[in-house]
Amino acid sequence: MSDSTKAPAAAGYRSVFRPGLYAGQTVWVTGGGSGIGRCTAHELASLGARVVISGRRAERLEQVAAEIREDGGEAHALAFDIRDEEAVRAGVADVLARLGPVSGLVNNAGGQFPSPMLAISKKGFDAVVANNLTGGFLMMRELYTQCMQHHGGAIVNMTADFRNGMPGMAHSGAARAGMSNLTQSAAFEWAHAGVRVNAVAPGWIASSGMDTYRGAIQALIPKLRQHVPLRRMGVEAEVSAAIVFLLSPAAAFITGVTLQIDGAASLGSAIFPLPPDSRSVAFDGFHRAVAPEVLR
């Protein structure tokens, strides 16, 4: 990803997948108003999907939907809180009534804040678990019970690189690990209905979420690439490509897995020093990608 603010919209999404792969299908992306969710919605729409994006901020969702339409795709925005069970139930019913069956769900919505574990209040812990686990469960359950158990489908859940714990974000690590386990349970229970459930676990991705951090964390972000064997951060399009693959027919016999997307950052140890550079080149697929301010 370059440090330029935006590539020309006319360039179009540069997906590695064949045009029309998702033609005639409706795919729902939660947290579609920014970051990885926004990128994934763009890629799916570029491949012919009718994309539904949801989140809490209607203005952001409408902006992304307008981008997708400007690029020639179809997008529908719906604002509600995935932590609200009745809102989820009603939102799913509304989308199904207007657009018909949903074939894919990208459970991307979430969020957290940095804190040492001893300073996390119960309220803060509950909020992060609700954002990153409970809300995703509600979306999965409602889409399954109202639609996918009758029509089949594919779900990709968003976790994070929790393989070695998440010191400094223990609440998020607990929720993300829970989502990975929930993915396995759903994959087994729902396979008979033709529903596949997988997850992705991104590491350090140069996305807009990085601009939400302040203080010591903000100062640390530009140095993170030094701890990645590929010697760089990932970009949104590299996560989106994995999600699109897991939703696709090519992954028809893959279910219950959590795919690490972290440049091998969670592997190895301090006794094996990293070389100063790498030949790794980022996949620059998203034509509307915007570099986080903290990395400019």
pLDDT interval class at 6 (50, 70, 90): very low
CA distance 240 to 51: 14
Q: Is the pLDDT of residue 1 over 60?
A: no
Residue with tokens 């074939």: 103
Quote the DSSP letter at residue 22.
T
- The answer to whether residue 208 is domain-embedded is yes
Helix (H/G/I), strand (E/B), else coil: 122: helix
- The answer to whether residue 231 is domain-embedded is yes
- The answer to whether residue 10 is domain-embedded is no
pLDDT single digits (tens) 73-86? 999 999 999 999 99
C-alpha distances in angstroms, 184 versus 27, 155, 164, 178, 179? 21, 12, 19, 10, 9
- The answer to whether residue 224 is domain-embedded is yes
Number of H helices, E strands in the chain: 9, 9
Question: What CATH number is given to the structural domain containing 164?
Answer: 3.40.50.720
- The answer to whether residue 227 is domain-embedded is yes
CA distance 5 to 251: 34
pTM for this model (two decimals): 0.91
C-alpha distances in angstroms, 188 versus 28, 248, 284? 22, 19, 35
- The answer to whether residue 288 is domain-embedded is yes
Report the pLDDT value the prediction gives residue 212, as an integer from 0 to 100: 74
Report the pLDDT value the prediction gives residue 158, as an integer from 0 to 100: 96
Nearest to 111 by CA among 237, 243, 212: 212
Provide the domain limits for residue 33.
Answer: 17-295
Domain count of the fold of the chain: 1
CA distance 218 to 26: 37
Q: Is the pLDDT of residue 2 over 50?
A: no
Share of the chain above pLDDT 70, in %: 96
> Which of 147-151, 207-211, 268-272 ranks highest by mean pLDDT?
147-151
Helix (H/G/I), strand (E/B), else coil: 160: coil
Report the pLDDT value the prediction gives residue 8, as an integer from 0 to 100: 43
Buried b / exposed e along 32-67 (16+ C-beta atoms within 10 A) = bbbbbbbbbbbbbbbbbbbbbbbbbeeebbeebbeb
How far separated are the first and last CA of the chain, in Å rounded?
11
pLDDT interval class at 275 (50, 70, 90): confident
- The answer to whether residue 5 is domain-embedded is no
Residues β-bridged to residue 76: 52
Q: Give me the chain's average pLDDT, please.
A: 92
- The answer to whether residue 92 is domain-embedded is yes
pLDDT interval class at 271 (50, 70, 90): confident
pLDDT single digits (tens) 85-109? 999 999 999 999 999 999 999 999 9
Report the pLDDT value the prediction gives residue 188, as an integer from 0 to 100: 98
Q: What is the 3-state secondary structure (H, E, C) of 27-49?
A: EEEECCCCHHHHHHHHHHHHCCC
pLDDT single digits (tens) 185-242? 999 999 999 999 999 999 989 887 777 777 777 778 787 888 888 999 899 999 999 9
Q: Is the pLDDT of residue 4 over 50?
A: no
41, two tokens: 């919605």
